[in-house]
Structure 1
Amino acid sequence: MKNKYMLKISLLSVSLLMGTAAAINGNIPALADAFINIPLSLVEMISTLPSLFLMISVLISTTIAKKIGYKRTIAIGIALVAVAGFIPVVVNNFYIILVSRAIFGFGIGLFNSLVVALVNYFYDDEQRSKMFGFQSAFEGMGGLAVTFISGQLLNISWNASFLAYMIAFPILVLFITFVPKVSTDKITEKNKSQIFQERQNTKEDFPLMVLGYVGAIFFIAIFFMLSGIKVAGVMQAVGYGETSSGSFVIMMIGIGGMIGGFLFSKVLRFCKEYTITLGLSLLTIAMYIIAIATSILPTLFAGILIGIAFRFILPYFIDKINNSQLSNPGLATSLLLVGYNLGIAISPYGAIFLETICIFRGPSAIFYMNAIVFLIMTCISFFVMLVFHSQKCA
C-alpha cells in the first residue's frame, strides 16, 4: 500500500516541473538590467526558448524511450532540468544561460508525454482520469510555487532566483526510488489490450480525432494565453492596477488550475463529452469579466475561472486520447502537447490579429474580442459534441 502511495506521489511530483518554464518570466527586467549590452529581444528569449526545444524533444521522446526505456528517459529529462536550472545560479555569461534554457525546455519535453504514458500503464478507467486531473493540478501548483519562490529570491539577486529550480533534484530522487522500471513491451501490450476492448464499441476515425484535438488545443492556447500577456496592460490602462498587478492575476490562474485539476475527474464523470464545452464557457465568462472590470477583485476572480477552465480542457483531451483505440497514444499525446506549446508560442500574434479585426474601442477591447472568440468556440464544441452523442446513441 505504501509503495502504491509513493508511486502516485512520485509520478505526480514530476508534473510539478511541467509548468515551471515560464516561472522566471517576471525576472526579465532584472536580467535586462544585468545584461544591458544584450538586446532586449534576445533577453526575452530566455522566456520563449524553452517552449521551442520542448516541442522538439516531445516529438522524439517516445522514440528515445523505446530504445533506452521509459524510466531512464524520464530520469534523464528531470536531470537535465535540474542541471540546466542551476547553471544560471553560478554562471554570468548570457549566452551560456540562453543555452541552459534551451536544455531546460528539452528536458521537460523528454518526460512531458512519457509520464502520461506511465499513468496510462499503471492506472485504469476512473483512477486514470483522476490521475490526469491530479497531474494537471500539480502542474499548476508547481508553476505557482516556483514563480513565487523565484520572485522572493529575486530580492537577493537575479542569479539566486534560479535556485527555485532546485526542486528538480528531490523529484529526481523520488522518481528513481519509487517508480519501477517498466519494459516498453509491457506498455505496448497494455495499449494493444485497450485497443481491442475499445474496438468492440467504437467505429470512430481516431487519427482524424487526434488531428481535431491538436487543432483545438492549438487555437485555445493562442487565445487562452492572452489573459497573461494583456491583462496587466489593460488593468493599468483602465486605472485600477499597475504593471506588477498582472502577477497577482497570473497567481490566481495558478490557484484556479489547482482547483480545476482536482475537480477534473468528478466534472468528467458528470459532464462527459460536454466537459470541453464547460471549460470554454468558463473562459468566455472570465474574458468578459476582465473586459468590464473596473477594480482588481473581479479580475482576480476571472483569473481563478481561467485556471479552472483550462485544467478542464487540457486533461480532457489527454484523457480521451489515452482511453481511445490508438496504437500509439504516446505519439498522439506528444502531438497534443506540441499543438499546445505552439499555440502559446504564437499567442502574441493572436493578440495582433484580434486587435486588427477589433470592433470595440477602449483599453479592454481585446478582452471583449477574446470573449467573442471563446463564445464561438463554446457553441462549436456544443454542437460537435451534440452530433457525436447522437451518433453514439444511434
Structure 2
Amino acid sequence: MAKVISKFHSWLIIIALLSLNIVEQAASVINATIPGMAKSFPNETLVNIELVTTVVSIFVTIFVLISGVIVKWIGQKRTAILGLVIASASSIIPAIVNNFTAILVSRAILGIGIGLANPLAISLIGVFFYGDQRAKLMGWRSAIAGIGTAAMTFVAGQLLVFSWHAAYWVYLLFIPTLVLFIFVVPDPEKSGALQRQEAEQEKEMAKAAKQGNEVKKNPIGLIILLTLLTFFTLIAMMVVAVKLPTYFVQAHIGTPTDASNVWSAVNLATVVGGFLFGPIYKKLGKYVLPLGLLSAGICVVIVPFASSLWLVYTVSIIDGIAGSLIIPYIFNRISEVSSAKKAPLFTSIALVGSNLGAFMAPYAGELLGMGTNAGLAIMNAGIINIILAIVSLAVIFMLRKATVAKRI
C-alpha cells in the first residue's frame, strides 16, 4: 500500500525533482571559462579546449540509455542518487586541478552522472504525480531548468572574477539536490508509489477510452513516434539558434550581439511557456501539440521576412512560448502511457532523440540553407514545425476515428 505523503513533504519532493532538471542542463554554465583555460593551456588547440563543454553532451547521450538498464538493477531513486554523486564529485575537479587531461576526463565523468540522473528527472514526476498536476510539473520542469541554469551561469560569471578555476565551484549547488534525494524523495519501489502509479494510469486510460482516446499501455509505436518528433523538433529549434547570428549579418537586420539578445528573449519566453503549459494542457489536452508546433513554425517562417529588429523580437518571443509547449507534452504523454517499470527506459529513448537532434542541428542547418543561406535555413526549420503540426493533427484525428469505429 502506498504511504500517505503530507502536503509539505510533497512540496519538498517537487523541489527535489525540479532541481534535478537544473542538473540536466548545467554543463554549459561554465562556457565563459574557455578563454581563460586557453591561456592556461597554450599547448592545447581551441577545439580541444571547447571539448570541455561538448564532451559532456556526448557522454550524457550514451548514459541516458544506460540509465534505464541500471534502474532495473538498483531502482530509480538509487540510480538518481548515483548519478548525482558522480556529477557532484566530478564537476568540481577543474576547480582544484591544473592538468588539462584530468579536467577533460572529469567533464566526461560529469556527462556520465548527468546521463544517469537525467531520465529520472522526468520519469519520477510521473511516479509521484498524476493528471493535471503531472502536466503542470512537466511544464514547470523546463521553466525551472531555464531559471536555474541562468542563475548558475550568473554565479559562475561572478566567480570567474577570481579565476577560471573558481568558476567551477558553482557546481557545489548540486549538493542540495543530492541531499534532498537522499532524505526527502521516497523510494518508488519500497514506498508503494509504483503501485499507485499503475492504479492511477488505469483510471486515466479508462477515462480516455470513454472520451474516444483509447491507447494501449507501453505502446512502442507511439514511443518511437514521440522520439522522432522530439528529434525533428530539436533540429528545427537549434537550427534557428545556430543560424540566427549569421542571418542577422547577411540580412543587415542587426549584429551577432543583437541575435544573442533575441535568443535570450526566446529562452525567457520558454520559461513563461513552461509555467503556462499546465493550464493550457488542462483546457486543450492533446491539441496542445499541434497548436505549439504550428504557432512556433509560423513564427519562425516569419523571421526571414521581418524588416525590423523589433518584429524579430516579437515573433521570436511568441515562438519561445509556443515551442515550450511541445517538449513537456511529449514527456507527459510518455508518462501517461508507460508502465512504472518501462517509463525510465522510454524517457531515455526520447531524450536520446532530443540530444541527437541538437547535435545534428549544424549539419541540418547547412542542408536546409542549401549551403550558406541562413535565412532559408531558418524558414525551412519553421516549415518542418508546420509539417509536424499537420502530421500530428492528422494522427490525432485518425486515432480518434479508429477508436470511435471500434466502439460502433
TM over 0.5: yes
Shift of 1:335: 0.5
Residue in 2 aligned with 1:375? Answer: 386
- Cα root mean square deviation, aligned: 2.6
Indicate conservation of the 8 Å contact 1:194/1:323, yes or no: no
* SS of aligned partner of 2:369: helix
Distance 1:259 1:354, change over 3 A: same
1:217 paired with 2:230, answer: yes
Residue 347 of structure 2 corresponds to residue 333 of structure 1: yes
1:91 aligns with 2:97: yes
Q: Give 1:251's aligned residue.
A: 264
> Cα distance, 1:338 vs. partner?
0.9
Partner residue in 2 for 1:147: 153
3-state SS, counterpart of residue 332 of structure 1: helix
Q: Distance in 2 between matches of 1:300 and 1:155?
A: 32
Q: Take 2:392 and 2:68, find their aligned partners in 1: how far apart are those partners?
A: 30
- The residue aligned with 2:4 is none
Q: 1:3 aligns with which of 6, 9, 12?
A: 9
Q: 1:38: how far off?
A: 1.9
Residues 206, 182 of structure 1: CA spacing in aligned structure 2 closer, same or farther, 3 A cutoff?
Answer: closer
Deviation at 1:315, TM superposition (A): 1.1
Give the drift of 1:190. Answer: 4.0
Structure 2: unaligned runs, 5 residues or longer: 1-6
Residue in 1 that maps onto 2:276: 263
The equivalent residue for 1:106 is 112
Question: Which residue in 1 is equivalent to 2:3?
Answer: none
Q: Residues of 2 paired with 1:183 and 1:133: CA distance? A: 26
The 1:138–1:291 alpha-carbon spacing in structure 2 relative to 1, beyond 3 Å, is same
Q: After TM superposition, where is structure 1 displaced by more than 6 Å over at least 4 residues in a row?
A: none
User: Which of 174, 177, 182 matches 2:180?
Assistant: 174
Aligned length: 391
Q: How does 1:237-386 map to 2 (within 5 A)?
A: 237-324=250-337, 326=339, 328-356=342-370, 363-386=374-397
Query: SS of the residue aligned with 1:37?
Result: coil
Report how far residue 47 of structure 1 moved.
Answer: 2.4
Query: Residue 329 and residue 194 in structure 1: after superposition, are their counterparts in 2 closer, same or farther (change >3 A)?
Result: farther
Deviation by residue 1:199-253 (Cα, 9 ceiling, x = unmatched): 6533548110101111111111112112222222222333344334443233223
SS of structure 2 residue aligned to 1:36: coil
Shift of 1:331: 0.9
Contact 1:280–1:378, Cα closer than 8 Å, also in 2: yes
Counterparts in 2 of 1:174 and 1:189: CA distance versus 1, 3 Å: closer
Q: 1:265 to 1:93 in 2, by over 3 A?
A: same
362 and 4 in structure 1: CA distance in 2 versus 1, 3 angstrom threshold: closer
Query: Residues 289, 31 of structure 1: CA spacing in aligned structure 2 closer, same or farther, 3 A cutoff?
Result: farther
The residue type equivalent to 1:219 in the other structure is: F
User: Which digits, 9 at most, give the CA deviation of each residue in 1:290-317, with x for residues without a partner?
Assistant: 3234544333444433432332111111
- Quickly say closer, same or farther: Cα 1:288–1:226, change in 2 above 3 A: same
Alignment partner of 1:68 is 2:81: no
Q: Which residue of 2 aligns with 1:36?
A: 42
Give the counterpart letter for 1:319 in structure 2.
N
2:142 equivalent in structure 1: 136
Q: 1:18 to 1:149 in 2, by over 3 A?
A: same
- Cα distance change on mapping 1:287 and 1:203 into 2, 3 Å: closer
Give the alignment's TM-score, normalised by structure 2: 0.86
Identity of aligned residues (%): 32
Letter in 1 for 2:269: G
Which deviates more from structure 2 when the two are superposed, residues 291-300 or residues 67-76?
A: 291-300
Contact kept? 1:252, 1:301, Cα under 8 Å: no
- Give the structure 2 partner of residue 16 of structure 1: 22
Structure 2 equivalent of residue 226 of structure 1? 239
1:40–1:281 distance in 2 versus 1, CA, 3 Å: same
Please say if residues 136 and 261 of structure 1, whose CA atoms lie closer than 8 Å, have aligned partners that are also in contact. yes
Contact 1:238 1:294 in 2 (8 A): no
Q: Name the residue aligned to 1:157.
A: 163
Q: Partners of 2:343 and 2:306 in 1: how far apart?
A: 42
Which digits, 9 at most, give the CA deviation of each residue in 1:4-52, with x for residues without a partner?
2222222222222222223334544444444332223322322222222
The DSSP-based 3-state class of the residue aligned with 1:183 is helix
Change (3 A) 1:84 1:271: same
Note closer, same or farther for the CA distance 1:27–1:301 as it changes in structure 2 (3 Å cut).
Answer: farther
CA distance in 1, matches of 2:50, 2:40: 13
